Amino acid sequence: MRGETHVLLSAFRSIEQLPGAAHPAVFRVRFACGCGGEHDGLLTHEELDWAPLGLGAGEFLNLMTARLEPAGAELGELAAVHIKRGEWPWSFFCYPEERPRPVFPSSFTLLTATDGTVGLAVRCPSCRRLSLNLVSHPHVDVPFHNDRQIGVVEHLFADDALTTLEAFRAELWSATFDARRLALE
Ligand SMILES: [Zn+2]
Ligand SMILES: [Zn+2]
């Protein structure tokens, strides 16, 4: 995916860790392209989770301007200050645990987007179970922007549920959502 400088996280459609490669972990990412199609790219764990925060080496994808920019010590430092204050670049609501949790993009498994909202399937980094959240675009695309309130599907998914984007979308758009506050304490 090098050179694809205009891909926002909300344009990702699926994120899947490839078996085998562990150091670094490698993820196959399918994303919706400006050409109208969907393409696959490979990202390392660092590129997926840290580059948007300016903490990677070399260049980073600035998710706020959707531009690849020289690694700014400033954004990296700013991110460090936020995280030390207990503010997380991304968060989601874990329904099985009934609590908000911090998360990184590598835990997003499936995404879909409309003009106003992004549907997210997240595998909880803590309990490993799946949750479906409905959030705003900035919640996903702008690190440290966390919606105050999000939509949560009140359903416990089997471990092997939601394996395809089609199944995920069908589940998402037929589901009813319950509002949850997302304040991380
Ligand atoms: Zn394309
Ligand atoms: Zn959980």
Quote the ligand 2 centre to 157 CA distance (angstroms).
Answer: 12
pTM: 0.82
Q: Provide mean pLDDT across the span 113-140.
A: 94
Give the C-alpha separation, 55 to 48, whole Å: 11
Q: Provide mean pLDDT across the span 103-112.
A: 94
Quote the ligand 2 centre to 69 CA distance (angstroms).
Answer: 34
Dump pLDDT digits (tens) for 42-94.
Answer: 998 888 887 777 655 454 444 444 444 555 556 667 777 787 787 888 999 99
**Residue in this structure with the two tokens 């590129």, named with its chain if needed:** 47
Quote the ligand 2 centre to 50 CA distance (angstroms).
Answer: 22
Q: What's the mean pLDDT when you consider all of the chain?
A: 83
In total, the chain counts a number of residues equal to 185
Q: Which residues does 2 contact at the CB level (< 8 Å), separation at least 6?
A: none
Dump pLDDT digits (tens) for 145-174.
Answer: 999 999 999 989 888 888 888 989 988 888
Quote the ligand 2 centre to 92 CA distance (angstroms).
Answer: 9
